[in-house]
Chains A and B, each alone.
Chain A
């Protein structure tokens, strides 16, 4: 029932970051090493141990136990160590310390199309890729038709893959990997590619693999919707450390909260000099009651004069879906220009978002010329409030994203 599929104890991985020379670790030249050899030998003899390099922990003390048949999501910001963890578990790279025990055959899909050769045909690449991922020739043969059908590339089987569209390429690659039959499947961010229809198909396949076939899946993604729908548990990594392992919703919540601009903080870069989110009293805040007014205030300094500026703020839910947009295109009557530092304020009256966590993004264009897009400026939390004045608090999630003003009427049908 509760057999273990994978357990890790204090897995850590460090890299040396050289500070000398150009700081390029991987591209030392033989000459450099030969020249510095005497110095290094002397240093070693003297045991000074004072190296010019710094140790960077890509992963630090990660311990976890995963049961057979579990689907565990791995989330965290870029550089948190998600991929490093998968690379260690697939033995591509070795841990610096710690151990991991694996019970069963591991299959990994770390990058779509690894080992595809552009000059080989689709058919040849299926065999090639399958073998690289650890399938035997007979195994591939028996699954060949299924793979081709899943990828929907029957017609182009004998075309070199370099002539494939990127969509076809990705489909074929995922199809091969999805038909691996490992007991433990490690998947890294494959859904970032492909169109919506195919993404759905991939998710369906992963769901099938895990829930119907009872395989263990470790799944790295930035797509919170996918994580939420597939994973029973999630691991939140932050700067190489485990910051949470447990309930998926809690992990996602923590992750999104970790990303937000602090209440006392404001966002700043070379274009948006200062971005603040203010409540109705003009105080900086990131937490609002449902139905409250929100003011976004930004001091913009354009990189060059913009004569037809178009500025928009988007509100995204935790699935990264755009819920609404505040935009100069349709909410600003008069034209404006942005040729010097300008303070922009947008008042969002009665923000009727359901309680939950939302992301603020922004885009600045000059006519149709993109100036800059900010994907993640801040995270706003909407707290439950007695918006309807019924004494009942609206809930997050299944009730939708917006609060609607509606009146209910109950009368007897045979009444007046």
Chain B
């Protein structure tokens, strides 16, 4: 632990000294075995270690939190999990009509509906995971202020829980592929890799947002707009190939570019994913993850006091 202890303040008017003198003199007489404490509580300052070991020791709780958010998501709805399929389907059709038919955006030669649904599958996971995880701390304020556990588990649990929605969309995507007679290729094997990248980036952003939202509730309002703007800044409704090559390096700084294009590459077998773009995406995702995690750890200690 990188905890630094501060010298205890000795106040001149320490009223405890008088009342305490008695019990101290008793303890001086009785021999005591001084063992090594299981835990030492002291103030910490500055940056804290990630403490992954503790995180691991709480894995049971992580799974239970994941289970909880999955179970709770569709309680008391008549259609239940069907919403998970219905929502993106309707969104994809709307986008296909507006951008595919009316605006006539290109789709790298793939059927536009399939093209946009593929992008949405990737984007929805990223955006859902990020948004739900970002709001999670404030939504669980009671948990944060009443029990001790690594708080990172709360946003993390939503990153995992969003996988359920993702798998439903993935199955639908496979159905779309069959309908449009797009044969699956070996490239599908790369899918988990891209998923992992998305999860990393979403976790990183969510850790920033969730930690910030404990102090600044503004985040909750800003997040939906932020996500929407981000979506249009990412190649969801248009292919990366329409961005002029001059701007592509700048464009690829957005990690969503890499994994959405990567997704299309793995499923449709087309797209403009290049090795430099992929590397940039990996770097940006890692950067988001680690900066988010360290920032989170730094401010975590004040959560219970200000939430």
Spell out A's residues near B (CB within 8 Å).
Answer: 2-4, 9-10, 12, 15, 25-31, 33, 60-65, 87-106, 108, 110-111, 114-115, 117, 119-120, 124, 127-128, 131-134, 136-137, 160, 241-246
Contact = CB atoms under 8 A, between A and B. Distances in A.
Interface residues of B, number: 56
Contacts of A89: 41
Contact of A101 (B40, B148, B219): B40
Given A15-B305, A242-B15, A98 B42 contact: yes
A3 B19 CA distance: 22
Interface string B35-70: 101111111100000000000000011001000100
22 contacts: A10-B9, A30-B219, A87-B304, A88-B41, A90-B147, A92-B304, A97-B9, A97-B43, A102-B37, A102-B39, A104-B38, A115-B147, A119-B72, A120-B71, A132-B61, A241-B14, A241-B16, A242-B15, A242-B16, A244-B19, A246-B19, A246-B22
B19 A242 contact: yes
B146 A114 contact: yes
A131 B216 contact: no
A287 to B, nearest CB: 23
Contacts of B14: 60-61, 241
Contacts of A10: 8-10
Contact of A131 (B8, B23, B64): B64
B15 A103 contact: no
A119 B76 contact: yes
A2 B30 contact: yes
Given A27-B217, A29-B216, A128 B9 contact: no
Contacts of B304: 87, 92-93
Nearest to A12: B9
Nearest to B213: A30
A114 B143 CA distance: 6
A253 to B, nearest CB: 14
Given A91-B41, A99-B42, A102-B37, 6 more contacts: A2-B31, A87-B304, A92-B145, A103-B38, A132-B61, A134-B149
A386 B27 CA distance: 41
Nearest to B219: A30
Contact of B216 (A28, A64, A99, A132): A28
A99 B145 contact: no
B32 A102 contact: no
Contacts, number: 164
Interface of B: 5-11, 14-16, 19-20, 22-23, 27, 30-35, 37-44, 60-61, 64, 68, 71-72, 75-76, 142-143, 145-149, 212, 215-219, 301-302, 304-307
Nearest to B306: A26
A84 B12 CA distance: 22
Contact of A128 (B7, B35, B64, B306): B64
B44 to A, nearest CB: 6
A95 B306 contact: no
Given A2-B30, A101-B39, A132-B149, A12 B215 contact: no
B147 A3 contact: no
B20 A132 contact: no
Given A117-B72, A132-B143, A63 B20 contact: yes
A97 B64 contact: no
A65 B27 contact: yes
Given A114-B147, A115-B147, A30 B216 contact: yes
B20 to A, nearest CB: 6
Contact of B8 (A12, A115, A245): A12
B153 to A, nearest CB: 10
B306 A25 contact: yes
A336 B167 CA distance: 76
A133 B146 CA distance: 10
Give the one of B16, B34, B43, B306 with max A CB within 10 A. B16
A3 B35 contact: yes
Give the one of A94, A97, A134 with max B CB within 10 A. A94
A199 B298 CA distance: 41
B6 A97 contact: yes
A63 B8 CA distance: 11
Nearest to A105: B38
Nearest to B17: A61
Contacts of B8: 9-10, 12, 61, 97-99
Given A100-B40, A120-B71, A3 B32 contact: yes
A114 B219 CA distance: 25
A134 B75 CA distance: 26
Contacts of A134: 149
